[in-house]
Amino acid sequence: MPLLDPDRLFPVDPSSRDLARALFQSVEDLPIISPHGHCDPRWFAENARFPNPAELFVIPDHYVFRMLVSQGVPMEALGVPRVDGGPVETDPRAIWRLFAAHQHLFRATPSAMWLAHAFSEVFGMTEPLNADTADAYYDQIDAMLDQPEFRPRALFDRFGVEVLATTEGALDDLKWHRRIRQSGWTGRVVTTYRPDAVVDPDFEGFAANVEELGALTGEDIGTWQGYLAAHRKRRAFFREHGATATDHGHPTARTADLPAAEAEALYHKVLKPGVSAEEAELFRAQMLTEMARMSVEDGMVMQIHPGARRNHHAGVFARHGRDKGFDIPGPTDYVAALSPLLDAVGMEPDLTVILFTLDETTYGRELAPLAGAYPALRLGPPWWFFDSFEGIRRFRETVTETAGFYNTAGFNDDTRAFCSIPARHDVARRSDCAYLATLVGTGRLVESEAFEVAHDLTYRLAKEAYRL
Binding to its own copies, residues 343-382 (CB under 8 A):
343, 346-347, 349, 358-361, 364-366, 368-375, 377
Q: Which of 231, 256, 438, 279 has its CA nearest to residue 344? A: 256
Could you say whether residue 7 binds its own copies (CB under 8 A)? yes
Q: Are 117 and 4 in contact (CB under 8 A)?
A: yes
CB of residue 328 to its own copies, shortest distance in Å: 5
Could you say whether residue 311 binds its own copies (CB under 8 A)? no
Of 106 and 206, which CB lies nearer to its own copies in the complex structure?
106
> Which of 255, 388, 420, 458 forms a contact with its own copies (CB under 8 A)?
388
Binding positions for its own copies, 37-56, rule CB under 8 A:
none
Of 9 and 122, which CB lies nearer to its own copies in the complex structure?
9
> Which of 34, 52, 286, 407 forms a contact with its own copies (CB under 8 A)?
407
Binding positions for its own copies, 315-334, rule CB under 8 A:
315-316, 325-331, 333
| Strands 353-355 and 193-194, sheet pairing | unpaired
> Which of 84, 90, 108, 261 forms a contact with its own copies (CB under 8 A)?
108
Of 388 and 420, which CB lies nearer to its own copies in the complex structure?
388
Stretch that binds its own copies, among 36-44, 174-182, 245-253, 387-395 (CB under 8 A): 387-395
> Which of 43, 50, 106, 193 forms a contact with its own copies (CB under 8 A)?
106
What's 76's DSSP letter? G
Q: What is the 3-state secondary structure (H, E, C) of the chain?
A: CCCCCCCCCCCCCHHHHHHHHHHHHHHCCCCEEECCCCCCHHHHHHCCCCCCHHHHHCCCCHHHHHHHHCCCCCHHHHCCCCCCCCCCCCCHHHHHHHHHHCHHHHCCCHHHHHHHHHHHHHCCCCCCCCCCCHHHHHHHHHHHHCCHHHCHHHHHHHCCEEEEECCEECCCCCHHHHHHHHCCCCCCEECCEECHHHHCCCCCCHHHHHHHHHHHHCCCCCCHHHHHHHHHHHHHHHHHCCCCEEEECCCCCCCCCCCHHHHHHHHHHHCCCCCCHHHHHHHHHHHHHHHHHHHHHHCCEEEECCCEECCCCHHHHHHHCCCCCCCEECCCCCCCCCHHHHHHHCCCCCCCEEECCCCCCHHHHHHHHHHCCCCCEEECCCCHHHCCHHHHHHHHHHHHHHHCCCCECCCCCCCCCCCHHHHHHHHHHHHHHHHHHHHHHCCCCCHHHHHHHHHHHHHHHHHHHCCC
Could you say whether residue 219 binds its own copies (CB under 8 A)? no
Of 103 and 286, which CB lies nearer to its own copies in the complex structure?
103
Could you say whether residue 261 binds its own copies (CB under 8 A)? no
Of 132 and 149, which CB lies nearer to its own copies in the complex structure?
132
Residues touching its own copies: how many (CB under 8 A)?
93
Could you say whether residue 339 binds its own copies (CB under 8 A)? yes
At 246, give phi and psi (nearest 5°).
Answer: -115, 165
CB of residue 436 to its own copies, shortest distance in Å: 8
Stretch that binds its own copies, among 82-90, 199-207, 246-254, 445-453 (CB under 8 A): 445-453
Q: Are 163 and 188 in contact (CB under 8 A)?
A: yes
Draw the binding track, 65-84, toward its own copies (x: CB under 8 A; -: no contact): -xx-xxxx------------
Stretch that binds its own copies, among 105-113, 158-166, 198-206, 284-292 (CB under 8 A): 105-113
CB of residue 248 to its own copies, shortest distance in Å: 20
Of 61 and 359, which CB lies nearer to its own copies in the complex structure?
359
Binding positions for its own copies, 145-164, rule CB under 8 A:
none
Binding positions for its own copies, 226-245, rule CB under 8 A:
none
Of 70 and 147, which CB lies nearer to its own copies in the complex structure?
70
> Which of 244, 286, 438, 458 forms a contact with its own copies (CB under 8 A)?
438
CA 123, CA 112: separation in Å to the nearest integer?
Answer: 15
Stretch that binds its own copies, among 7-15, 33-41, 232-240, 298-306 (CB under 8 A): 7-15
Stretch that binds its own copies, among 33-41, 193-201, 398-406, 413-421 (CB under 8 A): 398-406
CA 177, CA 40: separation in Å to the nearest integer?
Answer: 10
Stretch that binds its own copies, among 150-158, 199-207, 337-345, 457-465 (CB under 8 A): 337-345
Of 43 and 114, which CB lies nearer to its own copies in the complex structure?
114
